[in-house]
Amino acid sequence: MAPTALLSVSDKQQLVPLAEGLLRHGYRLLSSGGTAAALAAAGMPVTKVADHTGAPEILGGRVKTLHPRIHGGILARRADPSHSADLQAQGIDLIDVVVVNLYPFRQVVADPAVSWETAVETIDIGGPAMVRAAAKNHADVAVLTDPGQYEAFLAALDDGRVDADLRRQLALAAFRHTADYDAAIATWLAGRIEASADAAAGDGTAAATGTAAAAPLSLKFPARQSLRYGENPHQSAIWYGEAAAGWGAAEQLQGKELSYNNLIDLEAALATVREFGYGPVPDGASPLQPAAVVIKHTNPCGVATGASTAAALLRALDADRVSAFGGIVALNGVVDGAAAEHLAGLFLECVVAPAFSDEARQRLAAKPNLRLLALPAVAIGRAQGRQLRSVLGGVLVQELDDQPIEPDSWQVVSRRQPSEQELVDLRFAWQVVRHVRSNAIVVVAGAQTLGIGAGQTNRVGSAQLALAAAGERSRGAVLASDGFFPFDDTVKLAASHGIAAVIHPGGSVRDADSIAACDALGLAMLVTGRRHFLH
């Protein structure tokens, strides 16, 4: 009897050429639903699964391939006489090739507005069962789960070499395919349950204390590319990520391949610039505040807003042009020709923005090594709202520190009230300081960073760095600290450089000392009640 190939695919790319090749090699085509219709429309002889099994599709298509005539034909061991006897007794034909890819669950749930019912109906049942059956019996059955495999498989058929090694490789890909699929379902389901618990609690605590947060963690990311090396040339590295979410959805318009350090710095740059909005503004929303960020070794070295993207970029670069050399730039609006002019004369590693105008791309094409990445806002929304970090033998998971700031909850604890401009700058400084490695100090004036102290082992050391970088510009400026002032020494240092107002979380047992220093030196002080340590 002719060998049989079972085809049931959601992704119908290259389906017809594959079927033509199988027919050429004498295979009988067995198919169901839309796949059978597509093959018939292409003029190919195809047997419908319902005709093969003698059982019609039921429950609106939920049950069509779950049948002994399907799974018996896939799972039977060819060299086992008892299996052959069972097949003969039941009138079951062997199935030699299984071509299945699954309902597009991940693509469907990428829409945040997708309904629970729609998502559930996109969970494939029969498909994974056939894939796993064929992969289990790979000694006798070849399983194809990706259109990218078809050409090589047909070439192997042509050469008569669909051997055990090839079937093992296909089985491995199949099990990865179903594992990735199940992980996507579990991740979405956990997220929906967690969100429902948070909404029921009304205070955001359910995710931290409920059973969903304590459940085992399952991660499955496709390998996107092998990187040239990791943080250093002697370290190997691989980038894993989804194609439609986060950085995997960024379009690299030009430049060399991204490196490990590029991606780490790009992540820091994007997180910082998103403080001021990002990408197209939906109808009815507030206008986007043009903002630009320059990152060096994961820390901002220049952040500013402006009347336009180009103006914000110029001010961010002017904040610290020495540190900007070799840096990463992120902008929250379209890069136009004027912005491109500011970028063209600098040595930079990467620039990321929602989009680049044709004029900007033409101007920056003269810098072929500069990596330009267009990252749409919708891709950010598809990424998980969790942060993962590996530790020896495990993984730490936390929610992102991206909650909106709440100035209405801040308190002025000094006698002097901040001016309106100081309040604007204090808010800006607080938006920036949570993206600086702790201990973090940021000096700001006119919605532009003037000096940043990052990652020091004491807060005074960070303040000294930030104030030294600001120099004379610190007079009349404001200062933000990511953590409280344990002593009044930072306040006194700030006052000696002309700082007019400070903002910090508060909560030290010696807060009164710092407040008294502000009152004695004429500074305004605000406390936020929330710290932003970044490690």
Question: Is 405 in contact with 431 (CB distance < 8 Å)?
Answer: yes
N-to-C CA span, the chain: 66
How many CB atoms sit inside 10 A of residue 215's CB? 12
**Which residues make Cβ contacts (< 8 Å) with residue 464, sequence separation at least 6?**
453, 493
- What tokens does 214 get? 């304590």
DSSP secondary structure string for all residues of 450-499: EEEE-S-SSHHHHHHHHHHHHGGGGTT-EEEESS--SSSHHHHHHHHTT-
Exposed e or buried b for every residue in 380-394, given b needs 16+ CB within 10 A?
bebbeeeeeeeeeee
Distance CA 135, CA 483 (A): 55
Burial readout 315-330 (b: 16 or more C-beta within 10 A, e: otherwise): bbbebbeebbeebbbb
* Distance (Å, whole) CA 499 – CA 88: 90
**Residue 148: helix, strand or coil by DSSP?**
helix
Of 25, 83, 256, 297, which residue is the catalytic one? 297
- At residue 446, what are phi and psi to the nearest 5 degrees? 60, 40
- Name the helix (H) or strand (E) containing 398: strand 394-399
For the beta sheet containing 348-353, the strands, ordered from the edge strand earlier in sequence to the opposite edge, are 251-254, 371-374, 348-353, 327-331, 291-296, 299-305
The contacts found for 188-197 with CB under 8 angstroms, 24 or more apart, are 188/105, 188/109, 188/119, 190/215, 191/384, 192/116
Active site residue 297: yes
d(CA 7, CA 101): 9
Tell which residue, 19, 17, 14, has the closest CA to residue 31.
Answer: 19
Residue 301, SS3 per DSSP = strand
∠ CA 432-299-223, nearest 5°, is 115
Among residues 136, 220, 256, 492, the one annotated as catalytic is 136
- Please indicate whether residue 296 is annotated as part of the active site: no
CB count in 10 Å sphere of residue 225 = 12
List active site positions. 136, 297
